[in-house]
Chains A and B, each alone.
Chain A
Amino acid sequence: MAAVQGGMGDADIKTDIKTEPSADGFGNNNANDGRVLSASPGSSSSTGSNKQTAAVTPEDQQTLLAVLQFLKKNKLSESVEILRREAGLPENSLDPKANESAGAGSGGAAGIVDLEGGDASSLLSRVTGSSSAGAQAPTKAAVAEDQPDVSVVLSAYSQQGDPTLYKVYYRDLKKFIETVLDCHRAELSQVFYPLFVHMYLELVYNNHESEAKAFFEKFSGDQECYYEEDLRILSGLTKKEHMRGNETLLDFRTSKFVLRISRDSYQLLKRHLQERQNNQIWNIIQEHLYIDIFDGMPRSKSQIDAMSGSLAGEAKREANKTKVYYGLLKEPEIELPLDDEDEEAENEEGKPKKKKPKKDSVGSKSKKQDPNAPSQNRIPLPELKDSDKLDKIMYMKEATKRIRLGPDNLPSVCFYTFLNAYQGLTAVDLTDDSSLIAGGFADSTVRVWSVTPKKLRKVKSAADLNLIDKESDDVLERIMDEKTASESKIMYGHSGPVYGISFSPDRNYLLSSSEDGTVRLWSLLTFTCLVAYKGHNYPVWDTQFSPYGYYFVSGGHDRVARLWATDHYQPLRIFSGHLADITCTRFHPNSNYVATGSSDRTIRLWDVLSGNCVRIFTGHKGPIHSLAFSPNGKFLASGATDGRVLLWDIGHGLMVGELKGHTDTIYSLRFSRDGEILASGSMDNTVRLWDAMKAFDDLETDDFTAATGHIHLQDNSQELLLGTYTTKSTPVIHLHFTRRNLLLAAGAFNP
């Protein structure tokens, strides 16, 4: 790998890890601020291997001082302490001369991020600085007002060139690329889109409106079709004033567009530009593009197309180099005392023989430590309660009755149709044991249904609870109020459509995220709201409980995902780096990682421990609306509005498959319990089943592929497609495999 520009390396790493999105409620600190501050959680983490601390340039130090100044002014002494410690600044470094730089604009955001940094070092320790709560919510109004940062960002465009020459330059380059050898053409064509965008923006910034328009009309048709949506946004932008506060544009500026080009092709381009003295283009390439050069054969058009499409180009190779512990955690060993009696009662003969090997297999599986698994206590996990153990036992029992699925043994699909939803069903979730189903609705309600004969009951009132004999064996049964039994319960509390919903693994809680910017935690014993987690301020598109409970993740319009613990009212981690809305969030089965899908058409994998982004997957051509981890934790499947499902190898950081077939947004993905079948549900009213085993078996994970990240996808969607089941007129928005591998699907009938 070779970074093109000298001295670019370290700064790049930082932007990559955390690019603070400006111009939203979260913070409007300028670019430099963003880098340094957001890097702090990383640097403070105990994982080591962070070079950032070493690379604090004088300029950054200046900024740090400014931030310290600000914090002190706001009496956030604790934060000052922490930040100073982290940055290794002397006690008395806070001198007034650093006043002028950043303070005014950065609002409370600096405080938050910084607190995050402090919090990160001890994950579960409470955020003690309660005084910081005031700084928590930066006012929206401030955003709309003056934005010095934006002008800083944009000023890069202020170079004056002859506006009429832009066309000539671009056409020149186009001609050149069209005449190069075929093998280089596909690679060099990647340059077109970012160049086009930046040239257009330069024209607009310098008030050459008509030239910009002409330039756009002339060359926008040449761009790849998957950039169409961005181009449409761009086409609306015709004035310098529009550039302020335009998020797409800021993304373009703040993050370098990443291209992967082979050394030969790059040399070719460089030579051409130097020969032609085409400084305009060369400058853009230098300043706004990140060209990731690799040695070897240039990639083919299909290879490039498979990986491109995201808002900011492909992922840099080193972005996916971090080791990811994708293995599963060791299952706690639980005695199965109940097992014997029950099974023997069920069928008497032949059982004792069978049971022993079965038990062994379960045991051996959990005893062996997966080499790829994180250490058991990498993330502190909640202790198992007795009820959890009981549930685990139930799970194991069910698992023994699980149907082995395969291409010849397809799962049955039971469809839960929501009738009379009036287009209002926005989210669905099922408990792991498939006993409850919850729906989030556009009218702000959350409804829970019991799909077993067991009805939903509330706990008795406090007065009645006092009368109960607490020593009795069936106290848990006695606390329930029989009078409240019903098949469904409605929970009111949100003030906007509910977009995300998730049951806790122990079935005692339910999370819901809403347009009103809150995530609410509901008790399924009392059917009341327990906590409203505030922090997003903008619509929260998705939320999910960790598979071990306690933690949960949420992501929304503010482009950050937050990791929370149920007993903290503030987030434990903020995962920031996406360039557009976070549309879906998923926990890795081992709870150590979180995957987020975004409207910027990338998927990121975040380390819960350090808060770092450890994987960036590009290749989707539309906003990603569904994610699913394979049960073994090795693979990730993602579905987007483009109707394609992409499969990713987490360990190698590679795309390993593409499943084409859906014609509309894929809203749900789920692997069967043993990972043999992948089910996808879509807006096109179909459930499709894919042969996941085969898709992952055919992998070519030789060293070369792993090293270069070049993939050769064969188009075998048709072979992998095992079944398509059409509903009458019901978009499929949720899928769930029961513990015995029966597939449950849900959606609202749409007459």
Chain B
Amino acid sequence: EISSHSRFDPCHLNGSHDGILCFSSKCDLDFVCVSTRGYIYRPVCFLVSAMAEERRQKHCSVVLPTESMKAMAESVGVGQLQEDSCVALSEEVSYRIKEIAQDALKFMHHGKRRKLTTSDIDNALKLKNVEPLYGFQSQEFIPFRFASGGGRELHFYEEKEVDLSDIINTPLPRVPLDVSLKAHWLSIEGMQPAIPENPPPATKEQQKAESTEPLKVVKPGQEEEGTIQGKSQGTTTPDGKGKEKGLIRLKPRSTHELSVEQQLYYKEITEACVGSCEAKRAEALQSIATDPGLYQMLPRFSTFISEGVRVNVVQNNLALLIYLMRMVKALMDNPTLYLEKYLHELIPAVVTCIVSKQLCLRPDVDNHWALRDFAARLMAQSCKTFSTTTNNIQSRITKTFTKSWLDDKTQWTTRYGCIAGLAELGSDVIKTLIIPRLAVEGARIKAVMEGPVVSNIDKIGAEHVQSLLLKHCASVIAKLRPQPDNVDQYRTDYGYLGPMLCSHVMKARTQAALQAQQVNRTTLTITQPRPTLSVSQSGLSGSSGPRTPSIIKVPSSLTLMSPRPGTPSQPSPPATKYIVMATSAGAASTQQVILFFTTTPGNLSSQSASPVTSTVPSATSTLQPLVKLESGSGAGLTASRPLQKYIVVSLPSSASSSLETKSSVLPTSISSSSLDGGMKLERSESPGASTQSPH
């Protein structure tokens, strides 16, 4: 009766000791039932595990070892047991126990569980008219002790003596939560809405598999959608994997269509994210950070962010840049999203916000430094999560930062960004890259601070760089250098910054000591500031407000927790799908981007230092999108142009395959965002689909 649904994997089953008492199973069968007088549970456990063994060895009957019989007999005071009676007993007991186990499984099945519990065995005993053993209801796993000696091995359960007064005096545990009922839409007219109550449409592993092994068969759900799309567009793509006749396996077309609800959602969210209402933005960001169904919209979001950064860098719109970075942060926080595929868009955007020469209209007043810090932290976070040996993000980013930092002509703002970006990457990077350059940098700061006043902006920049260096280096140096902090020593080692460093280091040391005490006393206090961004700029309170747990009612009909589903609400109009043309930002950007590219090279410091500048070639050469470069994972790319390949999006290959015929339709002024181009392609391919849009 041990069904295939409950497979037992004995933890330790070997030879002959007196009853294997604990075992767990694949399906969480981790109950344990023993008693000093429990002759039944013990053998049950043993035999159930033995029967599991039996499965593998094809039905050979497993019986309890006679040793166990002797041990059990001894435990109830029967001293000398004949060998014959032992054999007879063990066979009989084994048989009875198997019966009980079979009955117990019956109770498990009817209890609609996958976990066999002690109460199942109790009930099975009742069926056999045996009094159940009371008091063995432990829900937890009870570990077994093993002991051997005198040539005998023993597994036993340690029964501690319990002081009743202790139990009486301890406060009562919290009452477990009561059963409650909650309703949600599992499916709406055949489509499963992407709400937190439902499993994400594509799991992270699935997304990963899809991005790393694009030729692998995609999961049925997505495949279905893919084919639907294929049909609606009237292309000649073979529908469905199974019916694929030709030998050529096309890379599955990634979905570029969103349902009406998703479009609404996208619109709402993007508007809220860059809008003026801070409460709404907090909700929207919360939604981005938690919603499990954003997978389909990820390309849109990523384009939105990268385009948004392009435009707003040019316009020096600090507030919007901050909002966009917060969106990046939210996306990275979402546990269900697999961002690897979109790093080529996100990283340039983030790096731009770190190192761009000018991020705001009034560099002397506005706190664009905070944005740089925030973006630097984001960068560090993505390095930590996404950097692999194949894509080498961290080393490439490091190289980029170092290169532009080393350049003499680099502006203070960019310099600040580079240092911040490097510093966030961790103490190792600080140790190897920043500290050796402290003297040089100190001299440069000194030149600005003490030299003739060139410009106020430069001075502010130098000040910020100085404090940044002090902040990050102090703690590292505190760990590196031995205790006596000598100002002169510091001066010789680090030049101009030496004395200030010395005082900072000393401060850091005392603080560390204080904290250590605090840690001892109470709990750990988190010293690392949370990577949230607070901006005080032109009436925009940029600080992340308190996030309300409830999210924007994403397509409101979807999350409808109807208290009375008895009345069949019409959840949504029939799922007519049409294609989102381009994001509003994207559409607006075409002009801007070109403008941007013509102006920026002068603005930004030098050659290929900034990722944004490196996009220029791809942007200006109109047919660049045809050159399909592999995104992030391309390993063999040279370091000289480390970021260029991020910018050129790999087109969905099916789209590129049809590009040969359709390329003439491509607008020649296509922006560097080839995703945009891809979308335009989509549009040109399917005029029918776009006219289907209901309103």
Interface centre among A237, A417, A738, A745 (most CB of B within 10 A): A417
User: Chain A residue with minimal CB distance to B190?
Assistant: A410
Q: Residues of B contacting A441 with CB < 8 Å?
A: 179
Tell me the bound Cα distance from A437 to B109 in angstroms.
22
Tell me the bound Cα distance from A539 to B123 in angstroms.
9
Tell me the bound Cα distance from A53 to B197 in angstroms.
62
- B123–A515 contact, CB under 8 A? yes
- A439–B179 contact, CB under 8 A? yes
User: Chain A residue with minimal CB distance to B114?
Assistant: A683
A639 touches B (CB below 8 Å): no
- A414–B59 contact, CB under 8 A? no
Q: Residues of B contacting A400 with CB < 8 Å?
A: none
- B106–A581 contact, CB under 8 A? yes
A569 touches B (CB below 8 Å): no
Nearest-neighbour CB distance to chain A for B363, whole angstroms, equals 49
Tell me whether A742 and B127 are in contact in the complex, defined as CB-CB below 8 angstroms, given that A217-B60, A419-B180, A439-B179 are known contacts.
Answer: no
Please encode chain B, from 178 to 211, with 1 for each CB lying within 8 Å of some chain A CB and 0 for all others.
1111111111111010000111000000000000
Q: Residues of B contacting A433 with CB < 8 Å?
A: 566
Nearest-neighbour CB distance to chain B for A749, whole angstroms, equals 8
Nearest-neighbour CB distance to chain A for B336, whole angstroms, equals 12
B341 touches A (CB below 8 Å): no
- A599–B106 contact, CB under 8 A? yes
- Bin chain B's interface residue count: 35 or more
Please encode chain A, from 417 to 452, with 1 for each CB lying within 8 Å of some chain B CB and 0 for all others.
111111111100000011101010110000101011
A733 touches B (CB below 8 Å): yes
- A499–B110 contact, CB under 8 A? yes
* A239 in complex: contacting residue of B91, B178, B181, B568, CB < 8 Å: B91
Tell me whether A541 and B197 are in contact in the complex, defined as CB-CB below 8 angstroms, given that A237-B95, A665-B5 are known contacts.
Answer: no
Task: Give chain A interface residues in 313-361, CB to chain B under 8 Å.
Answer: none
Which of the 9-residue segments B143-151, B293-301, B557-565 touches chain A? Answer: B557-565
- A738–B123 contact, CB under 8 A? no
- B564–A452 contact, CB under 8 A? yes
Q: Residues of A contacting B109 with CB < 8 Å?
A: 623, 625, 641, 665
* A414 in complex: contacting residue of B114, B129, B186, CB < 8 Å: B186
Tell me the bound Cα distance from A538 to B103 in angstroms.
12
Tell me the bound Cα distance from A726 to B91 in angstroms.
45
A179 touches B (CB below 8 Å): no
- B179–A420 contact, CB under 8 A? yes
User: Chain A residue with minimal CB distance to B59?
Assistant: A235
Tell me the bound Cα distance from A748 to B60 in angstroms.
38
Q: Residues of B contacting A141 with CB < 8 Å?
A: 129
Tell me whether A740 and B568 are in contact in the complex, defined as CB-CB below 8 angstroms, given that A447-B179, A722-B190 are known contacts.
Answer: yes
Tell me whether A414 and B562 are in contact in the complex, defined as CB-CB below 8 angstroms, given that A221-B58, A420-B178, A423-B115 are known contacts.
Answer: yes
- B61–A235 contact, CB under 8 A? yes
A687 touches B (CB below 8 Å): yes
Tell me the bound Cα distance from A731 to B112 in angstroms.
8
User: Chain B residue with minimal CB distance to A232?
Assistant: B59
B99 touches A (CB below 8 Å): yes
Q: Residues of B contacting A435 with CB < 8 Å?
A: 566
Q: Residues of B contacting A418 with CB < 8 Å?
A: 179-181
- B564–A727 contact, CB under 8 A? no
Q: Residues of A contacting B184 with CB < 8 Å?
A: 414-415, 417
B131 touches A (CB below 8 Å): no
Tell me the bound Cα distance from A140 to B126 in angstroms.
11
B158 touches A (CB below 8 Å): no
A622 touches B (CB below 8 Å): yes
Tell me the bound Cα distance from A581 to B564 in angstroms.
37
Tell me the bound Cα distance from A465 to B221 in angstroms.
59
Task: Give chain A interface residues in 596-612, CB to chain B under 8 Å.
Answer: 599
Task: Give chain A interface residues in 204-221, CB to chain B under 8 Å.
Answer: 213, 216-217, 220-221
- A683–B112 contact, CB under 8 A? yes
User: Chain A residue with minimal CB distance to B58?
Assistant: A221
- A140–B95 contact, CB under 8 A? no
User: Chain A residue with minimal CB distance to B571?
Assistant: A412
Tell me the bound Cα distance from A144 to B98 in angstroms.
18
User: Chain B residue with minimal CB distance to A583?
Assistant: B110
B686 touches A (CB below 8 Å): no
Nearest-neighbour CB distance to chain A for B47, whole angstroms, equals 9
Task: Give chain A interface residues in 713-731, CB to chain B under 8 Å.
Answer: 722-728, 731
Number of A-B contacts (CB under 8 A): 194
User: Chain B residue with minimal CB distance to A488?
Assistant: B181
Task: Give chain B interface residues in 421-479, CB to chain A under 8 Å.
Answer: none
Tell me the bound Cα distance from A419 to B102 in angstroms.
30
User: Chain A residue with minimal CB distance to B177?
Assistant: A420
User: Chain A residue with minimal CB distance to B110?
Assistant: A499
* A417 in complex: contacting residue of B1, B181, B192, CB < 8 Å: B181
- A412–B123 contact, CB under 8 A? no
Q: Residues of B contacting A728 with CB < 8 Å?
A: 197-199
* B185 in complex: contacting residue of A234, A414, A422, A665, CB < 8 Å: A414
- A452–B179 contact, CB under 8 A? no
B661 touches A (CB below 8 Å): no
Tell me the bound Cα distance from A641 to B567 in angstroms.
34
Tell me whether A667 and B60 are in contact in the complex, defined as CB-CB below 8 angstroms, given that A236-B99, A242-B95 are known contacts.
Answer: no
Q: Residues of B contacting A731 with CB < 8 Å?
A: 112
B111 touches A (CB below 8 Å): yes
User: Chain A residue with minimal CB distance to B128?
Assistant: A144
- A741–B568 contact, CB under 8 A? yes
Task: Give chain B interface residues in 206-224, CB to chain A under 8 Å.
Answer: 220
B624 touches A (CB below 8 Å): no
- A423–B113 contact, CB under 8 A? yes
Tell me the bound Cα distance from A328 to B102 in angstroms.
41
B176 touches A (CB below 8 Å): yes
Interface centre among A213, A401, A683 (most CB of B within 10 A): A683
Tell me the bound Cα distance from A403 to B562 in angstroms.
18
Tell me the bound Cα distance from A625 to B176 in angstroms.
31
- A232–B54 contact, CB under 8 A? yes
Nearest-neighbour CB distance to chain A for B290, whole angstroms, equals 14
- A412–B189 contact, CB under 8 A? yes
Task: Give chain B interface residues in 516-558, CB to chain A under 8 Å.
Answer: none
- A229–B198 contact, CB under 8 A? no
B14 touches A (CB below 8 Å): no
Q: Residues of B contacting A239 with CB < 8 Å?
A: 91-92, 95
Nearest-neighbour CB distance to chain B for A724, whole angstroms, equals 8
Nearest-neighbour CB distance to chain B for A687, whole angstroms, equals 6
Tell me whether A220 and B59 are in contact in the complex, defined as CB-CB below 8 angstroms, given that A425-B112, A727-B198 are known contacts.
Answer: yes
User: Chain A residue with minimal CB distance to B119?
Assistant: A442
B33 touches A (CB below 8 Å): no
Q: Residues of A contacting B99 with CB < 8 Å?
A: 236, 246
User: Chain A residue with minimal CB distance to B563?
Assistant: A453
Nearest-neighbour CB distance to chain B for A345, whole angstroms, equals 17
Please encode chain B, from 96 to 124, with 1 for each CB lying within 8 Å of some chain A CB and 0 for all others.
00110010001101111111010100010
Q: Residues of B contacting A741 with CB < 8 Å?
A: 568
- A235–B119 contact, CB under 8 A? no
B389 touches A (CB below 8 Å): no
Q: Residues of B contacting A547 with CB < 8 Å?
A: none
- A437–B181 contact, CB under 8 A? yes
* A451 in complex: contacting residue of B3, B111, B563, B571, CB < 8 Å: B563
User: Chain B residue with minimal CB distance to A727?
Assistant: B186
Nearest-neighbour CB distance to chain A for B646, whole angstroms, equals 35
Q: Residues of B contacting A538 with CB < 8 Å?
A: 127
Tell me the bound Cα distance from A435 to B126 in angstroms.
37
B2 touches A (CB below 8 Å): yes
* A233 in complex: contacting residue of B58, B102, B117, B187, CB < 8 Å: B102
Interface centre among B112, B185, B186, B571 (most CB of A within 10 A): B112
- A415–B183 contact, CB under 8 A? yes
A-B residue pairs in contact (CB < 8 Å), sample of 8: A235-B59, A415-B183, A419-B182, A451-B564, A515-B123, A515-B126, A539-B127, A741-B568
Q: Which 10 pairs from chain A and chain B are nearest by CB?
A: A410-B190, A235-B59, A413-B186, A414-B565, A415-B186, A742-B568, A413-B187, A420-B177, A434-B566, A236-B98
| Given A229-B3, A239-B95, A539-B127; 14 other pairs, CB 8 A cutoff | A140-B129, A232-B1, A410-B189, A412-B188, A415-B184, A415-B186, A423-B111, A451-B181, A497-B123, A515-B107, A539-B110, A541-B110, A583-B110, A723-B187
